[in-house]
Amino acid sequence: MERCKTSIKERGIVKKRISEEYGFRNCIRMLVKNRYLYCLLLPAVIYLIALDYRSMYGIQLAFKDFNARLGITSSPWIGFTHFKKMFSDSYFLYVLWNTIKISFGRIIFTFPFAIVIALAFNELRQRHLKKVLQTIYTFPHFLSWVIVSGVIVNFLGYMGPVNAVLDFFGVERHVFLGDKKMIVPILYITDIWKEAGWNSIIYMAAIAGIDDSLYEAADLDGASRWKKIWHITLPSIRGTILVMLTLKVGTVLNGGFDQIFNMSNMVVQKTIEILDTYIYRITFQQSPDFAYSTAVGLFKSGVGFLMVMCVNKLSKKLEGTGILE
């Protein structure tokens, strides 16, 4: 009985401390104390509420038979009809599989390039050359896909410089962007050229935080550059790599709409069709079906969320940490 009474008293003391520390009055006191910091945070909160959370109101379209005259609220509920229609459509299943193939191809072929570039920059000893190369590699990120696609179309066009060189050496001209076998590799190569340098900045920041004494000890042991990269640099940034991989996998059903939309043409349209371009076409180029396109978008977001959770759990097992603690 005495033990029970003491345990009850201890629980009461703990609850009292929690209420004092996290109570309403204490929250108000902390808000007043840090009011200037919260004022700085306010524009970002307003932005999220106005442009992100407010738009989530339209998610209910995925479960309604939308009628523009009735509006979103008054349109009748039809449950999972759009999702049943989605999975009974053979073309949707083809686009889904195509999106998965292209997206995982990006992870396999384009994701490691940022790490390679960061490791290469870390091995450069000439500061001026390093700065020049960083500028060259990061600059394409600031160009829109409209500009990049225009450059690629002219560069690889039938009368472009690549075909001019081929013609000079007696090789027959080739329509690269109209070749169904070459269009996907071209997507990967242009994506690497545009984004790999920018993405490498995160890994370079992680490498900069590695203790120099580890490299000094490796030098004393006579380790080569390759061994230092393999046994010091890569293990030290493994957590950063796993976090970036988790975020990348979360966008596995995005596929790169801007790039594909601008580089697509009638010949290769079906070959590189992804869910985002599919949603665009059924919403704006065919008879508009906003409810069905909302259902497809909701499905895409749900799969992305599940992928993030799975990879985050795997990251916790391997590294002991993840983006979601």
pLDDT, tens digit (0-9, with 9 covering 90-100), for 73-125: 888 889 888 899 888 989 999 999 999 999 888 988 899 999 999 999 888 88
Indicate whether 197 and 298 sit together in one domain. yes
Indicate whether 21 and 107 sit together in one domain. no
Indicate whether 135 and 242 sit together in one domain. yes
Indicate whether 161 and 309 sit together in one domain. yes
Cα–Cα distance, 263 to 164 (Å, whole number)? 21
pLDDT at position 281 is 86
| 255 in any annotated domain | yes
Indicate whether 118 and 183 sit together in one domain. yes
Indicate whether 125 and 216 sit together in one domain. yes
pLDDT at position 97 is 92
| 282 in any annotated domain | yes
Q: Pick the closest to residue 116 from 33, 234, 205, 22 (CA basis).
A: 234
**In whole angstroms, what separates CA 3 from the centre of its chain?**
54
At 309, list the tokens: 């959770």
| 63 in any annotated domain | no
| 53 in any annotated domain | no
Mean confidence (pLDDT) of the chain: 84
Are 319 and 242 in contact by the 8 Å Cβ rule? The answer is yes
Q: Considering its fold, how many domains does the chain have in total?
A: 2
Contacts from 284-293 at CB under 8 Å and sequence distance 24+?
A: 290/61, 290/66, 291/61, 291/62, 291/64, 291/65, 291/66, 291/75, 291/82, 292/82, 292/85, 292/86
pTM attached to this predicted model: 0.79
pLDDT at position 5 is 45
| 15 in any annotated domain | yes
User: In the chain, which stretches have pLDDT less than 50?
Assistant: 2, 4-6, 14, 18
Domain containing 12: what range? 1-33
Burial class (CB in 10 A: 0-12, 13-18, 19+), 287: exposed
Looking up residue 206, the CATH number of its domain turns out to be 1.10.3720.10
Cα–Cα distance, 248 to 308 (Å, whole number)? 9
| 238 in any annotated domain | yes
Are 65 and 75 in contact by the 8 Å Cβ rule? The answer is yes
pLDDT at position 98 is 92
Indicate whether 7 and 155 sit together in one domain. no
Indicate whether 23 and 95 sit together in one domain. no
Indicate whether 281 and 151 sit together in one domain. yes
At 107, list the tokens: 């992870």
Indicate whether 164 and 254 sit together in one domain. yes
pLDDT at position 322 is 63
